[in-house]
Amino acid sequence: MTTLRVILDEMLANSASVSRYTLELTRQLIATAPRGVYVEGFVSASPETDYELIADRLPGLAALHKSSLARRELRQAWQHGFTRLPGTGMLHATSLLAPLARHDRLNTGDQIAVTVHDTVAWSHPDSLTPRSVSWQKGMVKRAQKYADAVVVPSHSVADQLADLVDFGDRIRVIPGAPSTALVVPVDADSRASQLELPERYVLAIGGIEPRRGIDQLIRGMAGVSVPLLLVGPDPDDADLVAAVAEAGLAPERVRGLGRLSDPDLAVAISRAAVFAYPNIEEGFGMPILESFMLGTPVVHSDAPALLELSADAGLAVERDDEEGYPDRLAQAITSVLDDSGLAERLRYSGLDRAKAYTWRSAAEKVWQLHADL
């Protein structure tokens, strides 16, 4: 029996984008598996409810192998080359969390592909913990020695990674797609009321950390006529409250929504006048695609990966000259708010752009990658 074993730990992780990526890709790997090939999962020691969640969300998974090590211990073990996975054959990791070690691809058919979502550990290490930076850099070194392929979500990340580590021709660009879970529910009006969504507002996602540019977006809101709603931070988040005060804004001009369920997030995005994505550094930008899919005009930074993703379907804002970035964000947002024709063009351009990315296509490219190996 031929199997593809997928590391599912990121499905249970705190990072919403990587969690969605793991779930959606694995679901389509199961759906598109070649005849006679089975997809199995592997996960670190977790609560029984997590195992049940995986079984519920990934019907068709041939088996779920459960490590005796918890996630932290497994990360450390694999960083030092300890422990292996049961079975042999193809292994696909949706992050750098993988048992990277010497193996015989040519004679036994064992192969390992890992995924690098961004190069933030090098470009913006201050946005991660020192332990996380050390772990990511260490795992990239192990990938250089032992990975048969390295998947990245964009050509921009491919170029950045190639400048850091020599992977030769092992890097493959396989982008993700919008989450299939973000569907506007039938009770959208009720949910909008419960969330206290204004008639018009700017929506953004993320906390106050340098690479996300949310602090600069907040400063720019002084020049925007509608409020800013933030998904992620709670209303009383200390960093958010401080950023709003530093920008000289009244508290009601910026409000944290906290973490939202998928239906609530779909409602919040779909009803926003503008979705803002000011990230200074980004590897892909899944929230932009999801906003495109839901018909919301997008204003984003000119980070290379975002320009690649958007292809002019969003309004790009130059990041250079950091001091003037908040004002440029405000001008771009205001141009969409004040020009219904521009907003409509962005809406339809975004809807078309979102159709270019599907999880089925991503899964088929992963299968082709392993076939090529």
User: In percent, how much of the chain has pLDDT > 90?
Assistant: 87
> Mean pLDDT throughout 112-131?
92
> Mean pLDDT throughout 259-285?
96
Q: What is the pTM of this model?
A: 0.94
Segment 49-78, tens digit of pLDDT: 999 999 999 999 999 999 999 999 999 999
Q: What is the pLDDT of residue 273?
A: 98
Whether residues 208 and 337 fall in one domain: yes
Whether residues 142 and 232 fall in one domain: no
Q: What is the pLDDT of residue 224?
A: 93
Residue 301 falls inside a structural domain: yes
- Residue 321 pLDDT > 90, yes or no? no
- Match 């997030």 to its residue by tokens: 265
Q: What is the pLDDT of residue 87?
A: 73
Whether residues 327 and 211 fall in one domain: yes
Structural domain count of the chain: 2
Whether residues 303 and 212 fall in one domain: yes
Q: What is the pLDDT of residue 82?
A: 83
Whether residues 325 and 258 fall in one domain: yes
Residue 182 falls inside a structural domain: no
State which residues form the domain around 272: 188-354
Whether residues 135 and 269 fall in one domain: no
Whether residues 205 and 65 fall in one domain: no
Whether residues 230 and 309 fall in one domain: yes
Whether residues 67 and 7 fall in one domain: yes
Task: Tell me the pLDDT band of 194, cut-offs 50, 70 and 90.
Answer: very high
Q: How far is CA 190 from CA 195, 201, 202, 220, 292, in A?
A: 9, 18, 20, 31, 23
Whether residues 219 and 326 fall in one domain: yes
Q: What is the pLDDT of residue 305?
A: 95
Whether residues 193 and 162 fall in one domain: no
Lowest mean pLDDT among 93-107, 201-215, 271-285: 93-107
> Mean pLDDT throughout 142-164?
96
Task: Tell me the pLDDT band of 197, cut-offs 50, 70 and 90.
Answer: very high
Q: What is the pLDDT of residue 105?
A: 72
Q: What is the mean pLDDT of the chain?
A: 93
User: In percent, how much of the chain has pLDDT > 70?
Assistant: 99
Domain with residue 248: its CATH number is 3.40.50.2000
SS3 state at 17: helix
Segment 14-50, tens digit of pLDDT: 778 899 999 999 999 999 999 999 999 999 999 999 9
Sign of the Cα pseudo-torsion (187, 192, 193, 194, in order) = positive
b (16+ CB within 10 A) / e for 231-256: bbbeeebeebbebbeebebeeebbbb
Task: Tell me the pLDDT band of 322, cut-offs 50, 70 and 90.
Answer: confident
Residue 183 falls inside a structural domain: no
